[in-house]
Amino acid sequence: MSDDDDLSELKKLTDKEIYNRLQKDLTAVKNDVAALTEQITDALNAFTGQASKQARRGVKQARARADEMMAELQDHGDAAYDAASSMEESLEDAITQRPLASVGLALGLGVLIGMAWRR
């Protein structure tokens, strides 16, 4: 029975070696998963940072474009107001200098517009 005892002992030793090897492998896998998790977290943080920077840049550009458009619209509005004011002054001067001709012109335009309206 010595052979059976030797086989049992050998089996126990082999089982312990396999168990220890499995423990080491499992620990290595856990460490690898932890390292991979850290790398993924770093990559996601970098991506989030880049996306945030790009979003801020886009907002700044949109704000700058809106400001440019508002300034341009204001310039056009000022120019239109100046043109209307100058036209009003010219019209007032013409009416003041020739009141009868102005009334006749207004009457004639009214008749023309009325005739065109009828058709």
**How far, in Å, CA of 109 to CA of 94, rounded?**
16
Name the average pLDDT for the chain.
85
Query: What's the pLDDT at 16?
Result: 78
- Tell me, yes or no, if the pTM score tops 0.95: no
Yes or no: say if 86 and 94 are a contact pair by the CB < 8 Å rule: no
Tell me: pLDDT of 1 over 70.
no
Average pLDDT over residues 45-65: 87
Yes or no: say if 95 and 102 are a contact pair by the CB < 8 Å rule: yes
**How far, in Å, CA of 22 to CA of 54, rounded?**
47
Query: What's the pLDDT at 9?
Result: 67
